[in-house]
Amino acid sequence: MNKNRFAKPVVVAAGLIFLWAAPGLARAQSASPRPVQTSKVASTGAQANRDSLPPDDFAGLSYTDEQKAEIDKIRLDMKSRKAVVAKDEKLTADQKDAMLLGYTRMEYGRIYKVLSPEQQRQVRQRVHARRAADQAEQKKQPRQPSK
């Protein structure tokens, strides 16, 4: 029983890695050599701009032990994915930032699914309040004419 519990996630992870790597291998084998493009290197650690990241709407929630374990798995998985993107020299800084932001959003979505219905309601309320505050702030700021 424990073997099946362990083997299934390993097989799924291996399949996902294969699917992720296969298009790049096929493209690399069939493509003719091209001149290498120089791209600007991403900022240290290749982290997305802090302004573009959504705030942590999960702060302050009390989690069960099962939720904590699942959230730790999710964060570890996304941390490893982000590390791969940060080390990828083929991507430009903008591409890295976009992928890192996308992984952060995926992480938040997966964490949201782990929450209880009451916790999800609290998070939704925080998100709605933050968006309303952002819209009110935008209305206060006068528009500058474009040249």
Pair 107, 78: CB distance under 8 Å: yes
Q: Is residue 88 part of a domain?
A: yes
What is the residue range of 125's domain? 63-138
Q: Is 84 a domain residue?
A: yes
Q: From residue 88, how far is each of 12, 39, 82 by CA, in Å?
A: 24, 12, 10
Pairwise pLDDT comparison (115 vs 52), residue with the higher score? 115
Query: What is the per-residue pLDDT across 76-94, written as a single tens digit (0 to 9) for each?
Result: 999 999 999 999 999 999 9
Q: How many domains is the chain built from?
A: 1
Q: At which residue do the structure tokens 């782990």 appear?
A: 114
* ∠ CA 71-13-62, rounded to 5°: 5
Residue at 145 is within a domain:
no
The most confident of the ranges 3-17, 19-33, 104-118 is: 104-118
User: Whole-prediction pTM value?
Assistant: 0.57
Residue 133 falls inside a structural domain = yes
The answer to whether residue 120 sits within a structural domain is yes
**38 band by pLDDT with thresholds 50, 70 and 90:** very low
Residue 13 lies in a domain: no
Q: How confident is the model at residue 145 (pLDDT cuts 50, 70, 90)?
A: low
Residue 68 lies inside a defined structural domain of this protein: yes
Q: How far is the CA of 132 from the CAs of 21, 93, 97, 119, 139, in angstroms?
A: 41, 31, 26, 20, 11
